[in-house]
Structure 1
Amino acid sequence: MKRFSLAAAATTLAATPALAHHPLGGLPMETFAHGAMSGVGHPVLGFDHLFFVAAMGIAALFTQARFTAPLAYVAAMVLGCVAAYAGLALPAVEVVIVLSLLTVGGVILSGRALTLGPALALFAGFGLFHGAAFAGALAGQEGGVGGAVLAGYLLFLGLTQYALAIGAQFAARGLLGATAAGSVNARLAGAAVAGVGVFLALEMLEGPIVAAIAG
């Protein structure tokens, strides 16, 4: 019950406006260290990304390659970030990010382990869109940045999310006792992530619904 309460509290936390927070408070970034700080802060303070990465790590836990499968996400995320920062925009980024929470949370909730091929495709596909969102946050908060800043940002963005994914695996096994995809506590974690996705989807739909009613 205590573990379920913690999951519920985490879900509530995701409803805060912290999605766009930034470790430098929006100040200009000028050095590699500034980029590194931003790369660490964005996935931690952006709870939509944080919940997805944790879920992705847990889903990877039950594949044949628990430590390497998350790298498909990291590589695609960096690629998506670079492409979007260079001006190659992906469509409906925020919608796909919500879909990523619903999908991976739903997979864990189902109690079925992913085989390696579908897991890699799923992680990489969603990684492109999460990367595009990180690029948007970078441009929106600081505008144009130099090569050293961008290098620090991308390096620590990847390292931080990989560490979060692996940390989620150890937490799922060590703290929740989730040794199999069908474990109750693993499925509860999936339910929490899917719940965050449902909340964000409803929040996204709220504006158009209200506008339609008012019109």
Structure 2
Amino acid sequence: MSKIEVSRQQSQVGFLVCIGLLSAAGPAIAHHALDGKIPSNFFEGFVSGLAHPIIGLDHFAFIVAIGLLAVGLSRGALIPAGFILTALVGTGIHLLKLDLPGAEMIIAGSAIAFGVMLFTQQRPNFMALTALASGAGLFHGYAYGESIVGAQMTPLLAYLLGFSLIQYAISLLALLIGNWTMKKFTRPTFSPLQFAGFVICSIGTVFLTSSLLG
């Protein structure tokens, strides 16, 4: 099969994914692992922290995008670390009952922006990319805070630990897979990372549309 045919097939699959996501668009999901219940102990807090970045597709897409954009960078693992640190700050802002306006739209926009960088294979330098990821982390963390407002200190700390560990693990796994992929697919017409960028951008578009219409 020629590279042109492979590229065409990948584009068709990406188009179908986009259509499927758009057809499923609705009000933004509230991302509660415990059906809206506030965690009351360490276990519930930890599980809720692990689940929130996964069941929230917009968050998950962005975490994966961070890892994939770090592919090939010698200090790439520091980029998601910066994101997680500012996400903790963002959660703290929410717990202090301070307001970050337009958080859901900025979260969706961050997925779109990082997806576009992957798709176009254009990314800023390490410092700029870290700054962008860290800036987005404030708003992602602010959204995470909604699930833990009102919890006691033990489940709160467990929640923070859970979402920090799962996000770093996902982003590092994406980084490792991305590095392996780039070694296997040398100079492809349409690389797997570009395809991932297209899907991530589509997810961000769905959630942005949902936020605007909601």
TM-score range (shorter-chain normalised) is: 0.7 to 0.9
Candidates 202, 210, 214, aligned match of 1:203: 210
Does 1:186 find its partner at 2:193? yes
1:148 corresponding residue in structure 2: 154
- Is 1:71 aligned to residue 77 of structure 2? no
How far did residue 196 of structure 1 move?
Answer: 1.3
Contact 2:54–2:60, Cα closer than 8 Å, also in 1: yes
**Whole-angstrom CA distance in 2 between matches of 1:10 and 1:53:** 19
Match of 2:3?
A: none
Unmatched segments (≥5 aa) in structure 2: 1-5
Verify: 1:107 aligned to 2:117, yes or no. yes
Number of aligned residues: 202
Shift of 1:173: 3.5
Deviation of 1:63 after TM superposition, in Å, equals: 3.0
Task: Select the residue among 84, 97, 119 that pairs with 2:94.
Answer: 84
TM-score (norm 1): 0.82
Does residue 59 (structure 1) correspond to residue 65 (structure 2)? The answer is no
Q: Distance in 1 between matches of 2:56 and 2:143?
A: 10
List alignment gaps of at least 5 residues for structure 1: 208-215
For the 8 Å contact 1:64–1:115, the answer to whether it is kept is: no
Question: Which residue of 1 is the match for residue 53 of structure 2?
Answer: 43
Distance in 2 between residues matched to 1:75 and 1:33, nearest whole Å: 22
- Partners of 1:108 and 1:160 in 2: CA distance: 22
**C-alpha distance in structure 2 between counterparts of 1:43 and 1:7, whole Å:** 25
Tell me the equivalent position of 2:141: 131
| Whole-angstrom CA distance in 2 between matches of 1:74 and 1:101 | 16
Query: In the superposition, relative to structure 1, how do residues 83 and 206 fare at CA in structure 2: closer, same or farther (>3 Å)?
Result: closer
- Aligned letter for 1:192? V
The answer to whether structure 1 residue 98 and structure 2 residue 104 are counterparts is no
Residues 154-206 of structure 1: CA deviation (Å, up to 9, x unaligned): 011111001111111223344574678x9622111111111112222223333
Q: How far apart, CA to CA, are the structure 2 residues paired with 1:7 and 1:138?
A: 37
Identity %: 27
2:17/2:199 contact within 8 Å kept: no
Deviates most, 100-109 or 19-28 = 19-28
Equivalent pair of 1:83/1:89 in contact (CA under 8 Å): yes
Residue type at the aligned position of 2:62: F
CA RMSD of aligned residues (A): 2.7
SS of 1:61's equivalent in the other structure is coil
Tell me what 1:169 maps to. Answer: 175
For 1:58 and 1:32, locate their aligned partners in 2 and report how far apart those are by CA, in whole Å.
Answer: 32
**Greater Cα offset, 69-78 or 14-23:** 14-23
